[in-house]
Structure 1
Amino acid sequence: MVVKVSIFGMGLVASHYIVGLYRLKEGSMKPYGVPLAKYDLAVDFLEEEIVSVYDVDTRKVGKSVRDIVTESLKDVIPLPSSLPETEVRKGLLMGSAAGLDKLFPVSGRDQEIEPMEAIEEIANELKKDSIDVVFNLISTEPAEPFRSEEELLKRIKEGKASAAQAYAYATYLASKDTGKQIAFINLIPTPLANDPVMVNLFAETNSLLLGDDGATGATPLTADLLEHLAERNRLIRFIVQFNIGGNTDFLALTIPERNLMKEKTKSSIVEDILGYDAPHYIRPTGYVEAIGDRKFVAMDIEWITFNGLVDELIVNMRINDSPALAGLAVDLARLSKALMERGVKGTCYEVNAFYMKNPGPKNAKNEARIKAYYDMLKYLKELKIIKE
């Protein structure tokens, strides 16, 4: 079996995913950072193949994946000789264009032809390539869910849907036209798995929409710490958590509307886990180019314990941001393929709850990641995705 993968957004996460995947294929590294690597799954990550890649950065469009990856990572990690020569295709800007041109030169198909025509063009390419799994790894963007399919179509035709929403709709069209199941994995904050309209479209075609916003470092750790404190009936006085990074995604988050989307998904854990909305400040707060991809994370949680005394936890971390998310992607591609083969469609909370900051479907609760992990293992064993 081959799991054919397409990627929207040829940034550092995509680069690390591609390099790591092909290093795993050639046996030159251990699968550390791939959560389910120690289990025997129905679909092996060695079966994942990168077939197509899209971007709107004019410096990348037309170049090969090999060239882009080599340029960004040659001094960081060993590069496998088997890197794909796949050419980066022009993607979509749609309603997500605002501010991007301040970060890097951009161009989208929807600037050249009508938005729906551009979406259908990409859908046709996904069909031609017989894609199984699509990753959404574009820059964080401002977006709101649709109220109806009619609103979705109206906003798409007017070019007012976000780029992620347009890519998801193109994936839905490709699946609808061919009858082939295709998974769309949304690793940015745009509400897709939390949008009932989008989830219903994917359910119609027996396809899968996973999301939203991959949970890699500070957020899952915060969730587990809050669960620990909640179990002991300690009253949280406040939570402060912030990240500063130097990669392109942190640069994009200097645009207020984009930062707001990330803040929403990072903050959603508080009330879900505690049962009350403790005072909190949880958001990306800055861009410092010299920090690079190894972001700085700081956390301060204060609580009231027995006899009314106050305790405090302070955490500082440095996390390689893009590789952390790329390791999750290795799992998610094969998991989504196996889930669809077993009839799972629409979205899948059991998987989202562990891998995502804001797990779909809409109104689903965040929970401690240690609980979500064991719940997911049980679920995957029941489906015989994890072999025993």
Structure 2
Amino acid sequence: MIHVAIIGQGLVALHFEVGLEKLKNNEIPDYGVPLRNWLPYKYDDIEIVASYDVDESKVGKTVYELAKRDYPGNHIPGSLKDIVVSRGIHLNSMKGLPFKARGREEDKGIEAAINELVDEWRSLNIDVLINIMTTEPVEPVGNAGEIERRALNGDLTASQTYAYAATLYSAKYRPVAFVNAIPSPIANDPGFIKLCSERRCVVFGDDGSTGATPFTADLLEHMYERNRKVIDIAQFNIGGNTDFLALNLPERNIMKKKTKSAIVEDILGYDAPNYIRPTGYLEPLGDKKFVAMIVEYYSFGEFKDEFYVVMRINDSPALAGLLVDLSRIGRIALDRQAYGSIYEVNAFYMKRPGPPGSKAVSKYHAFQGLLNWLGISDPRMQQARR
């Protein structure tokens, strides 16, 4: 079994939890799970055993209750009654948002809260921790010793503190994989990479690549391969879920801008002028965000062409499908003792792939690299060789 704990019981978590149980029960097809049934670990091998949040409206409730309240669909699997949302670490991660939040560190201090979490994970035999909390304003620390000092003083953000706790757990009890699906620089922080490498921890990150970003990456690869000169790129997203509400705050939005716009120079080889970021919150849109993009470029003879893209994308399910893969790949990495961060995994699943200094590539090329790392073949290639 792969024992999974969720950090951040929001809509992504609900789609992952409900969808996974429905996959196990053969109630839905596995669309949106890139590696399908190709891996040695199957959907039935994944068991979500814990969830953490600081929203007072969620702490103490079962995932089943929250799904009944918030999940936009019918038939909630009864097995979700077994998962009760525990109080997590806050450290002002919800500051500025209209939610009543409280972290366990507010009662007992941050060091005791970290140690308590680590002991809970030990009792549950956690293999994979998935961080899908709300986007935070945060910068990399860079030094392993400084990370430890600041963590124990409560001077890191919540996501950084969870990542530090993961390294403690892996050093004291058993190796663990930390999936950082938000923009906080964990897999891109040299200090965390050093801690993870030394303490038998795997870290995937940063910022799950869903929706428009992987689409943009492959369009830019097309421009590069055809030697078309990109003049400028404008792309904006508007949504109505909690993450878009948080991204209304400039200090949080800047984190998304960094992970989204980094792909341009990495893929094209030059930094075309671009504006690629979430641009607004409109509550009636809910989780189905609106995306618009225009790319201007020069073709042969310096004739200027352009293309326009308009999309509506269900935001949370897109990331939830990737988490089904990342849970299983996390366990594979642990089996291989591949501690630290794994570029071949991050390049496909993340907007800003770690370790530090890594380049974003088109998702087509990243997919081939991922399959090579896993040692599996695309069935289309097998058919082509016959």
Question: Which stretches in structure 2 are left out of the alignment for 5+ residues?
Answer: none
Residue 357 of structure 2 aligns with an amino acid whose one-letter code is N
Once residues 83 and 77 of structure 2 are traced to their aligned partners in structure 1, the CA distance between those partners, rounded to angstroms, is: 15
- Structure number with greater CO (CA < 8 Å, separation at least 6) is 1
2:14 aligned residue: 15
Residue 87 of structure 1 aligns with an amino acid whose one-letter code is V
Question: Which stretches in structure 1 are left out of the alignment for 5+ residues?
Answer: none
Once residues 246 and 91 of structure 1 are traced to their aligned partners in structure 2, the CA distance between those partners, rounded to angstroms, is: 25
The Cα offsets for residues 30-76 of structure 1, whole Å up to 9 and x where unpaired, read as: 1110000042x121122101111000101000111110111111x42
Once residues 23 and 214 of structure 2 are traced to their aligned partners in structure 1, the CA distance between those partners, rounded to angstroms, is: 26
Instruction: Find the partner of 1:169 among 148, 164, 175.
Output: 164
2:223 aligned residue: 229
Once residues 283 and 100 of structure 2 are traced to their aligned partners in structure 1, the CA distance between those partners, rounded to angstroms, is: 18
Name the CA shift for 1:71/1:95 in 2 (closer, same or farther; >3 Å).
Answer: closer
Counterpart check, 1:311 vs 2:305: yes
Tell me if the contact between 2:6 and 2:51 (Cα under 8 Å) persists in the aligned partners: yes
Tell me if the contact between 1:126 and 1:171 (Cα under 8 Å) persists in the aligned partners: no
Instruction: Find the partner of 1:137 among 125, 132, 137.
Output: 132
Residue pairs, 1:99-114, within 5 angstroms: 99=96, 102-114=97-109
TM-score (norm 2): 0.95
Tell me if the contact between 2:65 and 2:81 (Cα under 8 Å) persists in the aligned partners: no
Tell me if the contact between 2:239 and 2:280 (Cα under 8 Å) persists in the aligned partners: yes
Tell me if the contact between 2:239 and 2:289 (Cα under 8 Å) persists in the aligned partners: yes
- Secondary structure at the counterpart of residue 93 of structure 1: coil
Once residues 36 and 80 of structure 1 are traced to their aligned partners in structure 2, the CA distance between those partners, rounded to angstroms, is: 24
Once residues 356 and 129 of structure 2 are traced to their aligned partners in structure 1, the CA distance between those partners, rounded to angstroms, is: 21
**Displacement over 2 Å in runs of 4+:** 75-85, 95-98
1:374 Cα deviation from its structure 2 partner:
1.1
- Secondary structure at the counterpart of residue 361 of structure 1: coil
Tell me if the contact between 2:8 and 2:131 (Cα under 8 Å) persists in the aligned partners: yes
Residue pairs, 1:225-374, within 5 angstroms: 225-374=219-368
Name the CA shift for 1:321/1:77 in 2 (closer, same or farther; >3 Å).
Answer: farther
Computed over aligned residues only, the root mean square deviation of the Cα atoms, in angstroms, reads 1.4
- Secondary structure at the counterpart of residue 282 of structure 1: strand
Residue 192 of structure 2 aligns with an amino acid whose one-letter code is M
1:191 aligned residue: 185
1:84 Cα deviation from its structure 2 partner:
3.8
Tell me if the contact between 1:26 and 1:80 (Cα under 8 Å) persists in the aligned partners: no
Instruction: Find the partner of 1:63 among 61, 64, 74.
Output: 61
- Secondary structure at the counterpart of residue 215 of structure 2: helix
Once residues 84 and 196 of structure 1 are traced to their aligned partners in structure 2, the CA distance between those partners, rounded to angstroms, is: 39
Counterpart check, 1:79 vs 2:73: no
Counterpart check, 1:36 vs 2:63: no
1:195 Cα deviation from its structure 2 partner:
0.8
90-99 vs 61-70, which deviates more? 90-99
1:381 aligned residue: 375
Residue 99 of structure 2 aligns with an amino acid whose one-letter code is F
1:113 Cα deviation from its structure 2 partner:
2.1
Once residues 262 and 228 of structure 2 are traced to their aligned partners in structure 1, the CA distance between those partners, rounded to angstroms, is: 20
Residue 251 of structure 1 aligns with an amino acid whose one-letter code is L
Once residues 325 and 205 of structure 1 are traced to their aligned partners in structure 2, the CA distance between those partners, rounded to angstroms, is: 28
Tell me if the contact between 2:131 and 2:178 (Cα under 8 Å) persists in the aligned partners: yes
2:111 aligned residue: 116
- Secondary structure at the counterpart of residue 49 of structure 1: strand
Name the CA shift for 1:55/1:238 in 2 (closer, same or farther; >3 Å).
Answer: same
1:97 Cα deviation from its structure 2 partner:
4.5
> Identity over aligned residues, as a percent?
49
Tell me if the contact between 1:246 and 1:287 (Cα under 8 Å) persists in the aligned partners: yes
1:95 Cα deviation from its structure 2 partner:
5.2
TM-score (norm 1): 0.95
Once residues 160 and 323 of structure 2 are traced to their aligned partners in structure 1, the CA distance between those partners, rounded to angstroms, is: 19
- Secondary structure at the counterpart of residue 316 of structure 1: strand
Counterpart check, 1:153 vs 2:151: no
- Secondary structure at the counterpart of residue 358 of structure 2: coil
Name the CA shift for 1:162/1:231 in 2 (closer, same or farther; >3 Å).
Answer: same
